[in-house]
Amino acid sequence: MGGFQTVRGTRDLLAEDAERQRFIIDTARKTAELYGYEEVITPIVESYELLNAKSGEEIRQRLFIIEDNGPVGHRKIVLRPEFTASIARLATTTLRNNPKPWRIFSVGSVYRYDEPQRGRYREFWQSNFELMGSNKPEADAEIILLTNRLMRAVGLHKYEFKLGHVGILRAILSAEGIDEPTQNAILQRMEKKEYDAALELIQNCRCRQRFQELINLRMCDPFMADPSLSVERIKTIVRSYEKASRETQNLSEILNLVKQSGCRIKTVDPAFARGLEYYTGMIFEVYIPELDIALGGGGRYDRLIEAFGGEPTPATGVAHGLDRIVLAMQMQKATPTTAWRKRVAVVPVNDALKCEALKISQILREAGISAELEVMGRKMNKAMEDADRRKVNYAVIVGERELKQGAVVLRNLAKREQTTIEISKLAKTIIG
């Protein structure tokens, strides 16, 4: 047994898992294309300062920090824990002069020092969509709708959206003069559903009662079962706060647009908050009933680009957790709908024919057929056993007698039938 293991919280994805992962990536990329998002590839490492600035305590505590060997002393760099900060960095530099909106797609691995458990890893994959330059509810609706498309296209048949709006909560707190760091602390408690601790931070504040009512609302069945009802109730609770009322109207418009487009929102949770600190408006997450961890989440962050030194630029976005989508697909028995790939083993009957076998493999590959040449020098029956074990569909047997007539033997391994066939017709016959 080898002595080395993968680093805690990381995994090797072997053939089947890698194929599932690739299928989701392809589907996310197709979704990006359909919605007009351009793909960018950013570095896996970013400066510590970028991530330290605005991600929030949740992410800050989970950064993988590396010290590089700079000539003037060590600098801190981090493995990216998400894409949003990197894309916001781009927005302040390279993208700056491009006409808006900017629709940006990225996919890749991200790193967080999370406590590993099912669906929670230290290295995981995200597909990430950012829509920058629009403060309109239709931009937020688009982000939810493309998530809906992705979930459906990977074959999930039951999934649920939860919607909230931190803009409403922040508007109330700001109106009461509560500073941003305290607001962040309150939202952090709410994210963890530590409502008493959140209320404690506004113990002597006029808005405590309003917060209590919003928290109570999330426990209240009829409202939670009907998102529109929930929004109407929020409107009543926050009516004495002008900005919070406008933010509730914004939530109502987003909900309406999404609903009209045929995507169902299961709940509007008025006390919903997310771990990242940069959110300023609508937030959402998507779940399957079988798992209590989110498959994806996002929201509006109108001040991040400005905080990084760019022009004030409203923005909204989402990241999908690919590893969790794989889990969800397994749980709901959703199979990748990739075209069935025919696999062919090409086996020379003796060593002298290996060059001919290689040439035939090349002919098959040129025709788009996956051909695996026998490179172990095994005897025919051993090579056939191996092809069977690996669920190869056909074997092409290259023998002297057939070659003299420009032909080979094509064996259908599942049906256990074989025919002699001209090499010029081989690819066409396999493709069928």
Residues of the shown chain interacting with ligand HAM in the complex, contacts defined by CB under 6 A: 82-84, 112, 114, 119-121, 124, 126, 128, 130, 275-276, 294-299, 301, 317-319, 321, 323-324
Q: In the block, which residue shows the tokens 């009516």?
A: 239
Shortest Å, Cβ 23 to ligand HAM: 17
C-beta closer to ligand HAM: residue 120 or 343: 120
C-beta closer to ligand HAM: residue 321 or 399: 321
Shortest Å, Cβ 77 to ligand HAM: 19
Q: What is the C-alpha to C-alpha distance for residues 104 and 101, in angstroms, rounded to an integer?
A: 10
C-beta closer to ligand HAM: residue 317 or 399: 317
C-beta closer to ligand HAM: residue 167 or 298: 298
Shortest Å, Cβ 128 to ligand HAM: 6
3-state SS class at 34: helix
C-beta closer to ligand HAM: residue 319 or 360: 319
Shortest Å, Cβ 117 to ligand HAM: 9
Q: In the block, which residue shows the tokens 């998530």?
A: 147
Q: In the block, which residue shows the tokens 């949740």?
A: 58
Interior CA angle at 369 toward 365 and 372, to 5°? 75
The residues, any chain, with a CB within 8 Å of residue 377's CB and separated by 6 or more, are: 351
Shortest Å, Cβ 276 to ligand HAM: 6
Nearest CA among 356, 380, 366 for reference residue 428: 366
C-beta closer to ligand HAM: residue 46 or 130: 130
Q: Give the chain's radius of gyration (CA, Å).
A: 28
The answer to whether the beta carbons of residues 158 and 289 sit under 8 Å apart is: yes
Residue nearest to ligand HAM (CB): 321
Shortest Å, Cβ 310 to ligand HAM: 16
The two tokens of residue 116 are: 């590993």
**How many other C-beta atoms lie within 10 A of the C-beta of residue 221?**
7
